[in-house]
Amino acid sequence: MIHQRQCPIETIIHVLGGKWKPQILWHLIDSTKRFSDLEKLIPNASQKMLTQHLRNLEQEGIIERKIYPTVPPKVEYSLSDYGKTLLPVAEVMCAWGENHNKQEIREPAS
Partner DNA sequence: CGGGATCCATTAGGATACTG
Partner DNA sequence: CAGTATCCTAATGGATCCCG
Q: Which residues bind DNA (CB under 7 A)?
A: 17-20, 34-37, 44-49, 51-55, 65, 72-76
22 near a copy of itself, rule: CB under 8 A: yes
Residue 69 interface partner, choices a copy of itself, DNA, none, CB cut-off 5-8 Å depending on type: none
Stretch that binds a copy of itself, among 21-29, 33-41, 46-54, 65-73 (CB under 8 A): 21-29
- Determine phi and psi for 2, rounding to 5 degrees: -85, 115
Strand partners, 104: none
| Binding-site member from 29, 46, 66, 82 for a copy of itself (CB under 8 A) | 82
Q: How many residues does the chain have?
A: 110
Distance CA 66, CA 100 (A): 37
Would you tell me how many other CB atoms lie within 10 Å of the CB of residue 15? 18
Interacting residues with a copy of itself (CB under 8 A): 2, 5-13, 15-17, 22-23, 26, 60-61, 82, 85-86, 88-90, 92-101, 103-104
